Structure 1
Amino acid sequence: MVFRTDRLSLRRLRDDDLDALATMNADPEVMRYIMDGSVRDREQSAAGLRKMIHDWDVRGFGLFAVELRETGEVAGWVGLAVPEFLPEVLPAVEIGWRLDQRFWGHGYAAEAAAGVLRFGFEDRGLDRIISIRHVDNVRSARVMEKLGISYAFRTVVPEHQQPVAVHEITREQYLARRRG
């Protein structure tokens, strides 16, 4: 499965994406607001990649590699997942993204996530999609705002006691934005 936006190609993750993901996951600034803020080593990144690939087979959705169409570089990932780390929101499907710091500030996260919202609502028939961010992650808050994903409530991730904001968009809200 591959789809394109104006500047990006989104495709299922593959084993050969490990180098790009491991580099991104080893960056303290990229990982600053992820779970407890710890970086991940190559072995942890490989285990995460295997899970991401497996989730597609089990759920029929998952995370997409984000490639720049012009260069073919993997900028990071964006996609849909079940947020098992936050049991109080379940059942739910979350949209999330993580980009290598070199690709921040270009609008790639919003562009890719807009395509994934369309995939979730139109191709997978979801009724609601949430997005979860650390309360201090203003960059992700801006992406959510651009996408029409509205603040719902604040809570704490049980495992790490990190404060997070939960945002959401329904299929009806998404379709109204598309029509508008």
Structure 2
Amino acid sequence: MIYIETSRLHLRDWGETDIEPFRRLNKDEKVMQYFPKTLSAEETYEFHQSILSEFNECGYGLYAVEVKENKEFIGFIGFHRATFEADFTPCIEIGWRLKKEAWGKGYATEGAAACLHFGFNELGLRDVYSFTADMNKPSINVMEKIGMRFIKNFDHPNVEKNSPLNKHVLYHINRCS
């Protein structure tokens, strides 16, 4: 099922053929540079299962993204329930992860903007957050391009204190923005 369509992208259900490129995406060191580590095949399988569970429980999740022109899987964009311990959780997060070859083409911004529109108008979401390591300038750029506003800096409780990835930024947008 296609949930969201843009001029160049389909944000859709996950299929069996997405699993192998998803594994490659999650073990790519460049793609995962702002995460504590790359994911093994087993960790990717568990992540995929949690994505499917969230769709079943919530009716939304991290949508598989394909380029309409060639039907190529390039990653995910969508919503996730963030439940780690913080003063702004639980909350609904918008996030994205695209393969390197898809970078610099505006796909993350295009897909995330359409996802927000869908979330506010079809899913009835009121508030959406996004966060990343403060050194992740490309994702911060996307957050700002889709109209999100900086709220604060915070230490991510699930990232080691001495890690350069511990310092995070929090962005927010609401239905009325």
The TM-score bracket by the shorter chain reads over 0.9
8 Å Cα contact 1:24/1:76 also seen in 2: yes
Quick one: percent identity of the two aligned structures?
A: 33
Report how far residue 86 of structure 1 moved.
4.7
Report how far residue 88 of structure 1 moved.
2.5
Which letter does structure 1 place at the counterpart of 2:134?
V
Report how far residue 42 of structure 1 moved.
1.2
Who is 2:18 aligned against?
17
Match of 2:176 among 138, 148, 172: 172
Report how far residue 100 of structure 1 moved.
0.5
Alignment RMSD (CA, Å): 1.1
Kindly tell me: are residues 68 and 132 of structure 1, through their superposed partners in 2, closer, same or farther at Cα, counting changes over 3 Å?
Answer: same
Who is 1:28 aligned against?
29
Give CA deviations for 1:122-178 in whole Å, capped at 9, x if unaligned: 1111111001111000000111111000100110111213111000001100xxxxx
Alpha-carbon separation, structure 2, partners of 1:43 and 1:127: 34
Aligned length: 171
8 Å Cα contact 1:31/1:39 also seen in 2: yes
TM-score with structure 2 setting the length:
0.93
Which letter does structure 1 place at the counterpart of 2:147?
G
Alpha-carbon separation, structure 2, partners of 1:86 and 1:101: 31
Which portions of structure 1, spanning 4 or more consecutive aligned residues, are displaced by more than 4 angstroms? none
8 Å Cα contact 1:62/1:81 also seen in 2: yes
Kindly tell me: are residues 84 and 14 of structure 1, through their superposed partners in 2, closer, same or farther at Cα, counting changes over 3 Å?
Answer: farther
Which letter does structure 1 place at the counterpart of 2:19?
L
TM-score with structure 1 setting the length:
0.91
Which letter does structure 1 place at the counterpart of 2:172?
E
Report how far residue 43 of structure 1 moved.
1.3
Alpha-carbon separation, structure 1, partners of 2:123 and 2:109: 20
Unaligned runs of 5+ in 2: none
Which letter does structure 2 place at the counterpart of 1:126?
L
